[in-house]
Copies of this chain bind each other. A is one copy, B any other.
Amino acid sequence: MAYSAEKLNEEKVFKDPVHRYIHVRDRAIWDLVGTKEFQRLRRIKQLGTTYLTFHGAEHSRFNHSLGVYEIVRRIVDTVFAGRPEWNEEERLLSLCAALLHDLGHGPFSHSFEKVFDLDHENFTRAIILGDTEVNKVLTRISADFPKKVADVIAKTYEDKLVVSLISSQIDADRMDYLQRDAYFTGVSYGHFDMERILRVMRPKEDQVVFKQSGMHAVEDYIMSRYQMYWQVYFHPVTRSAEVILTKILHRAKHLHEQGYSFKHMPLHFYSLFEEKVTLEDYLKLDEGVFLYYFQIWQEEEDEVLKDLCCRFINRNLFKYVEFDPAREYKKLAKLSQLFVEAGIDPEYYLVVDSSSDLPYDFYRPGEEEERLPIHLQMKNGELRELSRESEIVDAISGKRRTDHKLYYPADFVSGSEEIRKLLEL
């Protein structure tokens, strides 16, 4: 029997708190889950530093990846199966792309990518196409299968319907993470009627459309998304941890460039510092490794590195005030000067963080090229873009919101009356 058609003797299930069970029948999926590149996702948290704000958010990308797979499986096996617009031959491709879509994520990838100028999407591609266990499994399906999977994830695959399952304004990726992140943080946002959304999905040429009767479930999903972004993903305390993390990585890189001699050689970081990371190097990185170094760097000579690592490890984070860059740039300059005078390096200790730097993209039809708008299929077959039907979605669509905060170490500045006054403490 062709490997692509091979089924397990007995269906396997993973117990999942969000989808109850994750079902696997295909041999290839089972084999992919067992690869070391996929298992590595257990060592990378889905929400990076968010666990320092919401202590329940300790779940990994492994969790989420299985969830996205399961949602796509339900769509293709129970909603699309048998419909003429759906090409059954894309089934396994869709499942593999769903499972592997986050494969290239690094530890704390938001800060990590920024500092070392990396892009996890390139690494996802590299893992799928490179000399890896994942590639071996995919190649058993067919010689061009790895490329197809990589193309779906890169959104360049020709059948846009397959792409849209994991990458559109309402895709399996988001449907999983909104629910999963709500579950693990414990917040009451993030709930919507996914079962209904799945039931009203229809393949339609190069996209997935939604029967009009499910519009309210879709609205509810958009609202959940909005609330999750502002309540959870952009939470100012999480951003404080992210600021410190970024500064740790900056400092370490800077020290390396200055020829600083580390007490313990940061072997895992050299290729990062020198911006010549191989795939092999990359795959050795995970959050355990990062935390290992942050811990031992608490004993480094360099005061800045040492202090920032202590703060991160022991959750002694920066405080913040609202900051309006357009109106307050002079104040920032003045504060910088006062910091310097007080012997506190503003490069590391006085940081503006703007949430629009973060991957923020709640529903804006037409604005982003890569994200298709959501289309409703009316009873007469006609398609209508969601915000034309939904007053609520119309009210919020296309509106970018940016939040700027100024972060600083409260304990360092408590002695300076002048600084405290400028910060309005």
- Taking Cβ atoms with an 8 Å cutoff, the residues of A that contact B are 13-18, 20-21, 34-36, 39, 42-43, 51, 54-56, 58-60, 62-63, 66, 183-189, 191-193, 195-196, 199, 216-217, 219-220, 223, 226-227, 230-231, 264, 267, 284, 286-289, 291-292, 295, 313-316, 391-392, 395-396, 399, 401
Complex Cα–Cα for A35 and B66 (A): 36
User: Given A188-B193, A216-B230, A219-B227: A36 and B392 within 8 A (CB)?
Assistant: no
- CB atoms of B284 and A56 under 8 A apart: no
Which 6 A/B pairs are nearest by Cβ-Cβ distance? Answer: A395-B395, A17-B186, A288-B288, A36-B314, A288-B291, A292-B292
Q: In the assembled complex, which residues on chain B have CB atoms less than 8 Å from the CB atom of A295? A: 284, 286, 288-289
- CB atoms of B60 and A186 under 8 A apart: no
Closest to A397 in B: B395
Closest to A186 in B: B17
Closest to A392 in B: B396
Q: Count chain B CB atoms within 10 A of each CB in A187, A288, A399 and give the residue with the most.
A: A288
User: Given A227-B220, A295-B284: A56 and B16 within 8 A (CB)?
Assistant: yes
Complex Cα–Cα for A185 and B14 (A): 10
Closest to A19 in B: B186
- CB atoms of B193 and A17 under 8 A apart: no
- CB atoms of A63 and B58 under 8 A apart: yes
Tell me the minimal C-beta distance from A194 to chain B in angstroms: 9
Closest to A314 in B: B36
Complex Cα–Cα for A31 and B323 (A): 29
- CB atoms of A15 and B58 under 8 A apart: no
Q: Count chain B CB atoms within 10 A of each CB in A58, A217, A227, A313 and give the residue with the most.
A: A58
- CB atoms of A58 and B59 under 8 A apart: yes
Complex Cα–Cα for A130 and B36 (A): 42
Tell me the minimal C-beta distance from A48 to chain B in angstroms: 14
Closest to A316 in B: B34
- CB atoms of A39 and B315 under 8 A apart: yes
Q: In the assembled complex, which residues on chain B have CB atoms less than 8 Å from the CB atom of A316? A: 34
- CB atoms of A20 and B195 under 8 A apart: yes
Q: In the assembled complex, which residues on chain B have CB atoms less than 8 Å from the CB atom of A56? A: 15-17, 59, 63
What are 13 A-to-B residue pairs whose CB atoms are below 8 Å?
Answer: A14-B55, A15-B55, A17-B185, A36-B314, A55-B66, A189-B220, A216-B230, A223-B223, A287-B288, A288-B288, A288-B292, A292-B292, A392-B395
Complex Cα–Cα for A292 and B391 (A): 43
Q: In the assembled complex, which residues on chain B have CB atoms less than 8 Å from the CB atom of A196? A: 21, 188
Tell me the minimal C-beta distance from A173 to chain B in angstroms: 18
Q: In the assembled complex, which residues on chain B have CB atoms less than 8 Å from the CB atom of A292? A: 288-289, 292
Q: In the assembled complex, which residues on chain B have CB atoms less than 8 Å from the CB atom of A63? A: 55-56, 58
Tell me the minimal C-beta distance from A202 to chain B in angstroms: 12
Closest to A33 in B: B315
Q: In the assembled complex, which residues on chain B have CB atoms less than 8 Å from the CB atom of A231? A: 216
Complex Cα–Cα for A8 and B51 (A): 23
Q: Count chain B CB atoms within 10 A of each CB in A16, A51, A314 and give the residue with the most.
A: A314
- CB atoms of A17 and B314 under 8 A apart: no
- CB atoms of A62 and B55 under 8 A apart: yes
